[in-house]
Structure 1
Amino acid sequence: MSKLNHQISLLELIQILSAHRQSIILNLHKLKEDYHRTGIKRVRGIRDINGDLITPWLQTEDIYPGDFVQMGVFAINRNTATINMLVRRKVKLVKAEDNTPMIEVAGLLANDLDNFNNYTIVKDGKVNVSALNIKVSNKQVFDLLKSKDVIKEDKFDFHAEYTIELDNLPLVPVNINFGNIDGLFTQLAEIKVVTSILSAYLRHQSDVFVSNQVEELKQHYLSKNLYLNFPTTQEYPETIDSRISYKIDFGNQDILNLGKLYSANQFLGRRYEVYDKETGEIFLKPTFELVFNDNIAVRQKAISARMKLTKVDDLMKPIFDDFLGININGKIGEILNKLDDHSLALLLYAQHAGKAVNREDLIAAMTTAYQKLAAYVEQMYQENISPMVFYIGATGLLPNKISAQSMSADELVTKYPHLQFSKHEQEGTFFEVGNSIISVYPQTEYYSKKSLAVS
């Protein structure tokens, strides 16, 4: 459990570094020397049937090699007292056999790509990186960090390297403020349903590239968003160890957490029949990629005696009905109104009314809606949920402003018999806060025992 005192907390420091990251560069070499792996080490490539590693035919080369990089982007984990830092480096693609640069892929220059590495700064309420070594280019940022007593030097020197000690800071501030979580779960659950549908439909679609461009990008380990996407596999022989991590989740009196929701394609197959309008053939494993083809139709599936309907069905079914045009109830428009973006809802409702809708326009509207919804959810978490999760995980306590008695899974299910629990959740502790339920439960995590830097 962390001591709470009047020093700046690590959480507040991270917020300052995030706000002023453009004026700070980080000594990545020293970070790697201090770094302890928190997961299982993976290497690029796949294994053949004999277990031998087959490496990709392309690899990356740093464009600007050196010890320093721009200060990374920090994110609090949504379910644990963990803070990760995402570091970006500019790289180019080269052929593995002879280091020949790969200049052009799918009509795009491939000599200025981004490679991302995640570094865990705090893991499950314990500091994983003892210090950050930085240079500061802005005197006002230097003065701010000095006023917080994390830089000890008196004189600003843009050539100087400053060491910010992390392991002597309290993790959370004494008077931390939390947003109100009442009603947030239903909003997040509804948005997750819509983003799952959009993700399933857009899986092989692009609002920028045609299909053969997407395929060529894939062959060169690039996603349709131009992110590097090399296959990876576990490195072995490797010493694997395990530890218990406490996961903090939240839901409401109907659904324990977002993990209880079905994926879009799962729910499509559960509650609907997707069939060929001409032949009547019913697809046994339907996907949203099929749904918008001209010869494909969707209808509700008869509920079998074996099917047990749940509160998850109650939440997801109206959204699917509206999206598919089976029962137009305005749910999609209601959810997208949060973004002040009506284009996708208008196109869907026009399509359901039998009007011609351009496929490219629909893909573009879906892509925009997905991006905006994802950003909206991230903002909700970072402002209202993740700080609370971090506080609980770091201190082992509920925030002072939250008053709730702890309950076991047995006690909670007696009160709300429809709630569903996983094996891990059955071992948890639960707190009812207004119409929300906060869960804290153990999970086993595995990691490479050797202390190695992330490559």
Structure 2
Amino acid sequence: MTNNKISLVELIQIFAQYRDNIIVNIKHLQEHYQRTGIKRVKGVRNENGELLQPWLRTENIDNVEYVGMGEFQFNRNTATINMLIKRKVKLAKFEDKTPTIEVAGLLVNDLNSFNNYTIVSDGKINVKSLKVKISSKKAFDLLKEKGVLDAEDFDFRAEYTIELNNLPLVAANSHYSSIDGLFNELAEIKVLTSIISAYLRKESDVFVAGQLDEFKKHYLSKNVYINFPTTNEYTDIHEALVNGTIESKISYKIDIGSQNILNLSKLPSANKFLSKMYRLYDKITGEIIIKPSFAIALNENLAVRHRLLSSRTKITKVDELMKPIFDDFLGLEQNGIVANILKKVDADSLAQLLQDKQAGKQISKEEMIAALTTANNKLEQYVEKIYHDKISPLVFYIGCIGVLPNKMEAKSMTAEEAAIKYPNLQFSKDEQQGNFFAVGDSIISIYAKTEYYSKLISVGVEN
């Protein structure tokens, strides 16, 4: 590692600070871009494997050489950094390019398309350089001071090439926050957001059901984001590997967990847990709902109770974490855990509505949907800040350097050793080959997983 240069992480922090003053040559980026994942194409395949195209397509409104600097996002469990670039697009019919101006009473001739470009993939530079123009002399001076620009004088007309390939990925003197207690906090929030998301799956606090149906027909989400169906460009993965369309690579995953639950992926979906532990039934007839889900749980004529579990049902630490949150949310037990989670993110309105509902007050569906939506957004922002500030930088460091930071002294354990010391942990097939570190009350996992990517450099985008 070259220590006398600014690190790529520090450079990205400067990009983020001055993103309104830097534009990127998108054509250069696309021409030299190597996909890090499988190329996906718009459409669905029928039972014969034929690709059926969507009846609509997007066309760039800003079909230009330069676009605004994207937002940089650190992956949550790999040493990967993506640059999310926003483009203005319009919808048009696939056959004759007739523009679609309005859907469900909403103008859609000025939509946003979002495309990810992977700057660093699993600790390796994927974009060697960016060609940019800079409109701020302060930004220019700072980048020059940090040694990434070799120009003498500021020229807002000039295009500068910023080389990324020769920068160290992280600074040698990087410092990282303690992760004690973070996993349990994230796990509780994930359980609650899973419940809320299940409630809101087909609901909107802005649009009615008929409008949502129209959006779906026009490949728009309820947030009015473009949402085309996509599929892999190949039909047979083994054939694609043989003919070189795709190749495999080893990706190293870094997860944060506790001494009881290895990582957040061990938590099942809200509907799956609802089906396992609870019964949804009609208040009047007592009829049991065969396929319970939170999507129908808002119906006033339905009630919920605990499911009678057989003696063979094993209660895990995941169940012990999730059940009090479900019980509180569903009104089966008033333990205050949901209100405490919501209080952290200033979502007291939902906490009050849930309390009123449990007290027998009539709450309109519209009022509940609005409160759920607001709370969900606040919870997601809170979690994103935890990852941004405390977890993703640490994950990136470990993925790039291959070891824990110096201040995190911990002896490596195999899955077998970790299972003996922490018997509640459950390991996937990939995790069984990993290494594990006890850091405070947390467990850091590092394990390899085989992934696939489209081999050829291609003009286009990383989806």
Task: Please give the range of the TM-score, normalised by the shorter of the 2 chains.
Answer: over 0.9
Instruction: Say whether residues 1:430 and 2:427 are aligned partners.
Output: no
Partner of 1:275: 281
Instruction: Say whether residues 1:119 and 2:117 are aligned partners.
Output: yes
Partner of 2:101: 103
Partner of 2:451: 445
1:352-431 map, 5 Å: 352-431=358-437
1:36-435 map, 5 Å: 36-236=34-234, 238=240, 239-435=245-441
Report the Cα offset of residue 310 of structure 1.
Answer: 0.7
Instruction: Say whether residues 1:7 and 2:13 are aligned partners.
Output: no
Distance in 2 between residues matched to 1:149 and 1:445, nearest whole Å: 35
Contact 1:62 1:90 in 2 (8 A): yes
Contact 1:4 1:172 in 2 (8 A): no
Report the Cα offset of residue 284 of structure 1.
Answer: 2.4
**AA partner of residue 72 (structure 1):** G
Q: Percent identity?
A: 61
Distance in 1 between residues matched to 2:107 and 2:428, nearest whole Å: 47
Distance in 1 between residues matched to 2:353 and 2:67, nearest whole Å: 44
Report the Cα offset of residue 418 of structure 1.
Answer: 1.3
User: Which is worse superposed, 127-136 or 333-342?
Assistant: 333-342
Contact 2:2 2:167 in 1 (8 A): no
Q: What value does the CA root-mean-square deviation take over the aligned residues?
A: 1.0
Distance in 2 between residues matched to 1:155 and 1:61, nearest whole Å: 38
Report the Cα offset of residue 4 of structure 1.
Answer: 4.7
Distance in 1 between residues matched to 2:407 and 2:32, nearest whole Å: 37
1:242-262 superposed Cα distances (whole Å, 9 cap, x missing partner): 111110001011111001111
1:294-321 superposed Cα distances (whole Å, 9 cap, x missing partner): 1111000112122110111111000000
TM-score computed with the length of structure 2 as normaliser: 0.96
What secondary structure, in the 3-state scheme, does the structure 2 residue paired with 1:134 have? strand
Report the number of matched residues.
453
Report the Cα offset of residue 279 of structure 1.
Answer: 2.4
Instruction: Say whether residues 1:34 and 2:40 are aligned partners.
Output: no
Contact 1:37 1:453 in 2 (8 A): no
Distance in 2 between residues matched to 1:371 and 1:440, nearest whole Å: 30
What secondary structure, in the 3-state scheme, does the structure 1 residue paired with 2:99 have? coil
Distance in 1 between residues matched to 2:322 and 2:313, nearest whole Å: 16
Distance in 2 between residues matched to 1:93 and 1:353, nearest whole Å: 48
Contact 2:83 2:118 in 1 (8 A): yes
Distance in 1 between residues matched to 2:460 and 2:117, nearest whole Å: 8
Distance in 1 between residues matched to 2:311 and 2:263, nearest whole Å: 27
**AA partner of residue 279 (structure 2):** E
What secondary structure, in the 3-state scheme, does the structure 2 residue paired with 1:407 have? coil
Report the Cα offset of residue 363 of structure 1.
Answer: 0.4
What secondary structure, in the 3-state scheme, does the structure 2 residue paired with 1:454 have? coil
What secondary structure, in the 3-state scheme, does the structure 2 residue paired with 1:419 have? coil
